[in-house]
Amino acid sequence: MPILMIAVLLLFPANLYAYLDPGTGSYFFQILLAALVGVLYGFRRYLGKIRSYLNNLLGRKKGKFHDP
């Protein structure tokens, strides 16, 4: 775990100009978390878009079918 964390941090360092102390460890942890959660969230949103596209497509077909 620590090796993975440090590896990710070396890949994605960043800075912050905040009045609030974000906590050094917490700041680094967020970068790690962002990498993990970002991928999952991006994937979920992508799936959601496909699903809504398909729904629209099916919905339109259904609508046409029911048109008098």
Partner 1 sequence: MTLNQPVAGSFRDPSGFLFVRDKTLYRQIGRVYQPHYDHLMGSGLYRRLVEEELLIPHEEVKVPAAEGEAAYKIIQPRPLSFVSYSYEWCFSELKAAALTTLRIMKTALGFGMILKDAATSNIQFRGTEPLLIDTLSFEIYREGVPWAGYRQFCGQFLAPLALMALKDVRLSRLTGVHPDGIPLDMASKLLPLRSRLRPGILLNIHLHAKGAGLLGRRMPKVKTGAVSRISLEGIIDNLEGTIRGLHWASKKTEWVDYYADTNYSPAALAEKRELVGQYIRDLAPESVWDLGANTGLFSRLASGRGIPTVSFDLDPGATEVSYLQGVKEHDHFLLPLWMDLANPSPAAGWEHNERNSLAERGPADLILALALIHHLAIGNNLPFKKIASFLAKLGGHLIIEFVPKEDSQVQRMLAVRDDIFPGYNQGQFEEDFKTVFRIDRIAKLTDSRRLIYLMSNRRSYTE
Stretch (H or E) spanning 68: none
Question: Alpha carbon 38 to chain centroid distance?
Answer: 3
> For residues 2 and 68, which CB has a smaller minimum distance to partner 1 in the complex?
2
* Of the residues 7, 33, 47, 58, which one makes contact with partner 1 according to CB under 8 A: 33
Contact between 32 and 2 (Cβ < 8 Å): no
58 membership: H or E segment, kind and range: helix 24-66
Structure tokens at 34: 């962002």
Q: Could you say which of 37, 50, 54, 57 contacts partner 1 (CB under 8 A)?
A: 37
Site membership for partner 1, residue 59 (CB under 8 A): no
Nearer to partner 1 (CB atom), residue 37 or residue 54:
37
Choose, by CB under 8 A, the member of 22, 54, 56, 57 that binds partner 1: 22
